[in-house]
Amino acid sequence: MNMEAIVTRSQLERENWHYTDLPKLLKKAPLKGQLRDPSRTYQRIMVSTVEKLCLFFVDGVYQPERSQLGALPSTIMQKESSGYRLELAGQTCLVTSPIELLFTTTGQVQEPEVRLHIELGANGRLSLLERHESSSHNATIVNMSIALQPQAKLVHVKIIAGGNAVHMAQTTVHIAEGGFYNNFALIKGCSLVRNEIEAMLDGKLAQCTLNGVMLLRGHEHADTTTRIIHEAPYGTSREVYKSVLAEQAQGVFQAKIIVKQDAQKTDGYQLSRALLLSDQAEMNVKPELEINADDVKCSHGSTIGDLDANAMFYLRARGLSELESRGVLIKAFVDEILDEIHIPEGHDVCRMEVEEWLNECI
């Protein structure tokens, strides 16, 4: 996937990009910027943990000398013709803290592309904290594929923040029998983002949870597009996303749950809630259900609105200023979804990003 290929997709694929008109948006988005030292960005986005397990990428290239693997063998990261492969089939017992995937761009490579395949063996347990931050106004393309073997469990937190960059990402997940995939995505501070996730529940009793929050201001545009495909019976999927948009920001949430004919006893839930802080902000939502089985429980919902006037009056009547009241209500709106982050280090970083955004926006 590259920028030119994205722009020239088929008619059906272009329909999925209806609310994110790339040719138009790319004219507005600055793709070149001042070059900076990636080491400074690396030091700033490092997460403090007792034991750091970090895999560091610059312009899509793995940097083993800057990475920290702890007791993990260096062979877990392999270079392949199609990109990189992180395989933890037999080493998950050694992973006692989250593995941080740290990505930064310098502007020295136009449209750097990250290609990474992650393989988690049967009964494996892993937490990933994926962080993207640009040192330039360049475009980054991320292709990530994940395969979970039977009974494997992966908790995955992704943070796209800062740099005023363009970020195009596609994550594909295959979940085998009894496997569990949990994804949380925070999007903040980029001029243009398309974060696409496709999760396939291939085995019975597979589970998938997708959550996230978009914090947008100015002329920022962010698009979260998801597809959850239930292939086997007794699968469970949960999906909740929240968005806060200020000034002239544009947000997109497209989500589709597909239940195949053999996927009886499927339980699927999907919800999008958006908070508009100005009359110029725009949120486009397209929830979908495609059900081909007759014994399922699936639902979806969507709400878009502004701050509750009664709640504002209640807080103002108790001595808070208008700005303080707005801050309390927005923070409460976002905090509810942050509670779904199951990596403590990821929860702390996301909360810090939210507080920083509120201080700038309110």
The answer to whether residues 277 and 248 touch, using CB atoms and an 8 Å cutoff, is no
Query: What are 151-160's pLDDT values in tens digits?
Result: 999 999 999 9
pLDDT for residue 96 is more than 80? no
| DSSP secondary structure of 135-163 | SSS-EEEEEEEEEE-TT-EEEEEEEEEST
User: Does residue 267 form part of some domain?
Assistant: yes
d(CA 353, CA 362): 14
**Residue type for position 271:** L
* pLDDT of amino acid 30: 54
User: Does residue 268 form part of some domain?
Assistant: yes
User: Does residue 315 form part of some domain?
Assistant: no
More confident call, 117 vs 163: 117
Query: What are 261-279's pLDDT values in tens digits?
Result: 999 999 999 999 999 999 9
User: Does residue 128 form part of some domain?
Assistant: yes
Instruction: Tell me the range of 56-70, 120-134, 277-291 where mean pLDDT is highest.
Output: 277-291
Instruction: Place 44 in a pLDDT band, splitting at 50, 70 and 90.
Output: very low
- H helix runs in the chain, sequence order: 3-7, 11-15, 22-28, 38-45, 309-317, 322-338, 344-361
Instruction: Tell me the range of 41-50, 84-93, 203-212 where mean pLDDT is highest.
Output: 203-212
More confident call, 282 vs 8: 282
User: Does residue 214 form part of some domain?
Assistant: yes
Query: What are 173-197's pLDDT values in tens digits?
Result: 999 999 999 999 999 988 999 999 9
Please give the model's pTM, rounded to 2 decimal places.
0.91
pLDDT for residue 362 is more than 70? yes
pLDDT for residue 107 is more than 80? no
pLDDT for residue 42 is more than 60? no
Kindly list the distances between the CA atom of residue 10 and the CA atoms of 13, 67, 71, 225, in Å, as whole numbers in the listed order. 5, 39, 46, 17
* pLDDT of amino acid 189: 86
The answer to whether residues 342 and 182 touch, using CB atoms and an 8 Å cutoff, is yes
* pLDDT of amino acid 37: 47
Q: Tell me which residue has tokens 């497209």.
A: 254
pLDDT for residue 48 is more than 70? no
* pLDDT of amino acid 31: 46
Overall number of domains in the chain: 1
Instruction: Provide, rounded to the nearest whole percent, the portion of the chain with pLDDT above 90.
Output: 70
Contacts of 38 (CB under 8 A, 6+ apart): 58, 104, 105, 106, 135
pLDDT for residue 221 is more than 50? yes
Instruction: Provide, rounded to the nearest whole percent, the portion of the chain with pLDDT above 70.
Output: 86
pLDDT for residue 10 is more than 60? no
* pLDDT of amino acid 22: 84
pLDDT for residue 57 is more than 50? yes
* pLDDT of amino acid 15: 80
**Residue type for position 200:** M
**Residue type for position 177:** E
Tell me the mean pLDDT in the region 55-74: 90
User: Does residue 275 form part of some domain?
Assistant: yes
User: Does residue 328 form part of some domain?
Assistant: no
d(CA 194, CA 87): 26
Least confident among 122-126, 238-242, 333-337? 122-126
* pLDDT of amino acid 33: 41
pLDDT for residue 135 is more than 80? no
What domain range is 256 assigned to?
Answer: 3-307
What value does the mean pLDDT of the chain take? Answer: 88
d(CA 285, CA 304): 9
Contacts of 79 (CB under 8 A, 6+ apart): 62, 85
pLDDT for residue 260 is more than 60? yes
* pLDDT of amino acid 136: 64
pLDDT for residue 29 is more than 70? no
User: Does residue 249 form part of some domain?
Assistant: yes
Kindly list the distances between the CA atom of residue 132 and the CA atoms of 59, 103, 107, 140, 249, in Å, as whole numbers in the listed order. 11, 5, 14, 9, 21
pLDDT for residue 333 is more than 90? yes
d(CA 15, CA 71): 47
d(CA 133, CA 33): 14
* pLDDT of amino acid 11: 57
Tokens of 111: 């449209």
* pLDDT of amino acid 25: 83
